Copies of this chain bind each other. A is one copy, B any other.
Amino acid sequence: MQNYKLTLCYDGSRYSGWQRQGNTPNTLQARLEALLSRLLEQPVELAASGRTDAGVHARMQVCSFRAQTTASCPELLARLRGFLPEDIGALALEEAPPDFHARLSCVEKTYVYRIWNSEAPDVFQRRYRLRVPEALDLAAMEEAAGLLTGRQDFRSFCSNKHMKKSTERTLRSLTLEKEEDELRLVLTGDGFLYNMARILTGTLLQVGRGERPARDMPLILAARDRSQAGPTAPAHGLFLWDVKY
């Protein structure tokens, strides 16, 4: 069996997230596994670098799978592209060493949350940005971001109440990038808990709107209680942006 590394991008709008789960009809994993199994005429199981939530996009998602085939990677990639719907793109397919695993081998992931910070309408990017018409205090958001980075217990920023494993993660950086009216929150870390990028964003937006001070951040972290953090920002602004091995 050969091990493969498949790099994808997708518009998550019409999918119920990455992870295959029981009868949920339209998950990316189920759709892609069905497609690859048909193409390769054998059952294919996909591992991904991380599970994106329903409605979250991927500029870059990395998967791995094992299969036995005489087809070359360029042949397989071309065939796969021929069958993918237009909201999923296959960026690359390569042979991978036997021990490569898209989730377990991943050392760093970057998420980007895109915000359209203007009173003007956002017609052409409306599916990929959250619209926030009111002015935001970027200095306060940056101060708060600085208090959230590093090795921390992010339990307060996790929607899974029954998370039994460690909720410690290293958020290597959380920076704000402003380009004209678009504000981007760029989050890089060794791992992200369920909804973590979106709850961090929702909390920073509260700070930006002056609804709570930056100095609340250490208190939220210390509470280890989801109810202390801000709301979960909508899915459609979030992109899995980069994955490192």
* Chain A positions near chain B (C-beta within 8 angstroms): 9-11, 57, 59, 81, 84, 86-91, 120-124, 126, 128
Contact = CB atoms under 8 A, between A and B. Distances in A.
B128 A124 contact: yes
A138 to B, nearest CB: 24
A91 B123 CA distance: 11
Contacts of A121: 9, 81, 84, 86, 88-91
A195 to B, nearest CB: 23
A114 to B, nearest CB: 11
A128 B128 CA distance: 14
At the interface, is chain A mostly helix, strand, loop or mixed? Answer: loop
Contacts of A10: 123
A126 B86 contact: yes
A81 B123 CA distance: 12
A9 B125 CA distance: 12
Contacts of A9: 121, 123-124
A86 to B, nearest CB: 5
Contacts of A81: 121
B123 A11 contact: yes
Contacts of A124: 9, 11, 57, 59, 128
A116 B91 CA distance: 15
Contacts of A86: 121, 123, 126
A208 to B, nearest CB: 22
A124 B11 CA distance: 6
A166 to B, nearest CB: 34
Q: Looking at A59, A88, A90, A124, which has the most chain B CB atoms within 10 Å of its CB? A: A124
A123 to B, nearest CB: 4
Nearest to A11: B123
